[in-house]
Amino acid sequence: MTGRTNTHTEGNMRLSELMSVLPGIQLPRDVEISGICFDSRRVKAGDLFVALVGAKADGHDFVPGAVGSGAAVVLVERPLAVLSVPQVVVKDARAALGKLSARFLDYPSRRIKVIGVTGTNGKTTTTYLIRSIVQAAGRKVGVIGTIAYSTGVEETEAVNTTPESLLVQELLSEMVRAGVEYAAMEVSSQAIDQGRVNDVEFAAGVFTNLSREHLDYHKTMAAYARAKGLLFGRLPRDAVSVVNGDDRYVGIVVGDRRGVIRFGFKKGSDVRVVSFETGVKGSRFSILSPWGKMDLATPLPGKHNVYNCVASAAVAAALGIDPPAIARGIAALSSVPGRLEPVDAGQDFTVFVDYAHTPDALKNVLKTVRKLAANRVIVLFGCGGERDRSKRPRMRAVAEKLADHCVVTSDNPRGEDPQDIIDQIMRHAADPSRFTVEIDRRAAIARAVAMARPGDLVLLAGKGHETWQIFKDRRVHFDDREVARDVLRKAGSTP
295/467 Cα distance (integer angstroms): 37
Range of the domain at 48: 8-104
My answer on whether 52 and 20 are in the same domain is yes
- On whether residue 495 sits in a domain, the answer given is no
Q: What is the pLDDT of residues 58-117, one digit of tens each?
A: 999 999 999 999 999 999 999 998 789 999 999 999 999 999 999 999 999 999 999 999
For the entire predicted model, the pTM comes to 0.89
Residue 398 has pLDDT above 80, yes or no: yes
Of 310, 332, 354, the residue at which a domain comes to its end is: 332
My answer on whether 392 and 450 are in the same domain is yes
My answer on whether 136 and 246 are in the same domain is yes
pLDDT of residue 4: 35
My answer on whether 395 and 357 are in the same domain is yes
Whole-number percent of the chain with pLDDT over 90: 83
- Assign 3-class secondary structure to the chain: CCECCCCEEEEEEEHHHHHHHCCCCCCCCCCEEEEEECCHHHCCCCEEEECCECCCCEHHHHHHHHHHCCCCEEEECCCCCCCCCCEEECCCHHHHHHHHHHHHCCCHHHHCEEEEEECCCCHHHHHHHHHHHHHHCCCCEEEECCCEEECCCCEEECCCCCCCHHHHHHHHHHHHHCCCCEEEEECCHHHHHCCCCCCCCCCEEEECCCCCCCHHHHCCHHHHHHHHHHHHHCCCCCCEEEEECCCCCHHHHHCCCCCEEEEECCCCCCEEEEEEEEECCEEEEEEEECCEEEEEEECCCCHHHHHHHHHHHHHHHHCCCCHHHHHHHHHHCCCECCECEECCCCCCCEEEEECCCCHHHHHHHHHHHHHHCCCCEEEEECCCCCCCCCHHHHHHHHHHHHCCEEEECCCCCECCCHHHHHHHHHCCCCCHHHEEECCCHHHHHHHHHHCCCCCCEEEEECCCCCCEEEECCCEEECCHHHHHHHHHHHCCCCC
* CB-side neighbour CA atoms (13 Å) of 418: 17
Q: What is the CATH number of the domain that holds 233?
A: 3.40.1190.10
Residue 13 has pLDDT above 90, yes or no: yes
My answer on whether 205 and 284 are in the same domain is yes
pLDDT of residue 218: 59
| Contact in structure between 341 and 449 (CB atoms under 8 Å) | no
My answer on whether 98 and 113 are in the same domain is no
pLDDT of residue 83: 87
My answer on whether 323 and 358 are in the same domain is no
pLDDT of residue 214: 56
Whole-number percent of the chain with pLDDT over 70: 96
The mean predicted confidence, pLDDT, of the chain is: 93
pLDDT of residue 40: 94
- On whether residue 319 sits in a domain, the answer given is yes
- On whether residue 156 sits in a domain, the answer given is yes
> Of residues 302 and 207, which shows the higher confidence score?
207
pLDDT of residue 189: 87
Residue 1 has pLDDT above 50, yes or no: no
Q: What is the mean pLDDT of residues 432-443?
A: 97
- On whether residue 279 sits in a domain, the answer given is yes
Q: What is the mean pLDDT of residues 402-407?
A: 98
My answer on whether 267 and 204 are in the same domain is yes
pLDDT of residue 275: 97
My answer on whether 153 and 173 are in the same domain is yes
Of 69, 104, 139, the residue at which a domain comes to its end is: 104
Residue 495 has pLDDT above 60, yes or no: no
Q: What is the pLDDT of residues 105-157, one digit of tens each?
A: 999 999 999 999 999 999 999 999 999 999 999 999 999 999 999 998 889 98
| Contact in structure between 397 and 371 (CB atoms under 8 Å) | no
Residue 468 has pLDDT above 60, yes or no: yes
Q: What is the mean pLDDT of residues 414-433?
A: 96
438/381 Cα distance (integer angstroms): 10
Q: How many domains does the chain have?
A: 3
My answer on whether 149 and 86 are in the same domain is no
> Of residues 213 and 286, which shows the higher confidence score?
286
Cα angle: 128, vertex 132, 136; to 5 degrees: 170
